[in-house]
Amino acid sequence: MKTLLLFIGFVLPSIVYAQEKKSSAYFPPPGKWEKKDPLKAGFDTALLHAAIRFAKDSETKNPRSMEESHKRSFGKEPFGEGVGPFKDRGDASGIIVHKGYIVAEWGDPARVDMTHSVTKSFLSTTVGLAVDKALINSTDDLVMGYVNEITWLDSSGSSPVQKTIRPFETTHNRKISWESLLRQTSDWEGELWTKPDWADRPDRDSTKWHNRIRNEPGRAFEYNDVRVNAMALAATWVWKRPLPEVLNEYIMTPIGASTTWKWHGYRTSWILLNDRPVQSVSGGGHWGGGMFINAYDMARFGLLTLNKGRWKGKQLISAEWIEKATTPGSANPGYGYMNYFLNTDKRYLPDAPESAFVHVGNGTNIVYVDPENEIVMVVRWIENGAVAQMVKRVLESAPKKKKQ
User: Does position 270 have pLDDT exceeding 50, yes or no?
Assistant: yes
- Looking at the domain assignment, is residue 93 inside a domain? yes
Query: Would you say residue 10 lies in a domain?
Result: no
- Say if residue 274 is exposed, middle or buried (CB neighbours under 10 Å; 0-12, 13-18, 19+): exposed
Q: How far apart are CA 294 and CA 310, in angstroms?
A: 21
Name 344's Cβ contacts closer than 8 Å, sequence gap at least 6. Answer: 328, 333, 334, 354
* Residue 268 shares a structural domain with residue 378: no
Rounded distance between C-alpha atoms, residue 167 and residue 146, angstroms: 11
Tell whether 295 and 211 lie within a shared domain: no
Question: What pLDDT sits at residue 230?
Answer: 98
Structure pTM?
A: 0.93
- Residue 35 belongs to a domain with what CATH number? 3.40.710
How many CB atoms within 10 Å of residue 72?
11
Nearest Cα to 368, choosing from 353, 333, 43? 353
Same domain, 83 and 151: no
Whether residues 274 and 161 share a domain: the answer is yes
Closest residue by Cα to residue 92 from 53, 62, 55, 63: 55
Residues 38-62 have a mean pLDDT of 98
Domain membership flag for residue 76:
yes
For residue 4, the model assigns a pLDDT of 45
For residue 83, what pLDDT is reported? 97
The reply to whether 145 falls in a domain is yes
Q: What is the CB neighbour count within 10 angstroms for residue 137?
A: 12
Report how many domains make up the chain.
2
The answer to whether residue 258 sits within a structural domain is: no
DSSP-assigned letter for residue 216: P
20-30 pLDDT, tens digit per residue, is 344 458 999 99
Q: Where is the domain boundary, 281, 307, 340?
A: 281
With 50 as the cut, is the pLDDT of residue 404 above it? no
* Whole-number pLDDT of residue 24: 57
What's the angle, vertex CA 306, arms to CA 96 and CA 91, rounded to 5?
30
* Residue 23, in any domain of the structure: no
| Residue 253 in domain | no
Considering the domain architecture, whether residues 268 and 171 belong to the same structural domain is answered as yes
Q: Characterize 356-365 residue by residue with b for buried, 16 or more Cβ atoms within 10 angstroms of its Cβ, and e for exposed.
A: bbbbbbbbbb
**Coil/strand/helix, residue 173:** helix
pLDDT score of 11: 46
pLDDT, tens digit, 9 for 90 and up, residues 304-348: 999 999 999 999 999 999 999 999 999 999 999 999 999 999 999
Element (H, E) at 292: strand 290-293
Q: Tell me, yes or no, whether 272 and 306 share the same domain.
A: no
Q: What residues make up the domain containing 312?
A: 30-119+291-397
162 and 78: one domain? no
For residue 76, give the amino acid letter.
K
Measure the CA–CA gap between 284 and 201, rounded to whole angstroms: 14
pLDDT at 19 over 60: no
* Pair 252, 258: CB distance under 8 Å: no
pLDDT band with cut points at 50, 70 and 90 for residue 277:
very high
Residues 299 and 393 in one domain: yes
| Closest to 389 (Cα-Cα) out of 366, 373, 372 | 366
Q: Is residue 286 part of a domain?
A: no
Give the per-residue pLDDT at 20.
37
Task: Summarize pLDDT for 234-257 with one digit per residue, the tens.
Answer: 999 999 999 999 999 999 999 999
Shared domain check, 100 and 150: no
Co-location of 320 and 273 in the same domain: no
Alpha-carbon distances of 92 from 55, 365, 366, rounded to whole Å: 7, 10, 12
Average of per-residue pLDDT across 198-227: 93
Q: Are residues 228 and 155 in the same domain?
A: yes
Residue 176 shares a structural domain with residue 112: no
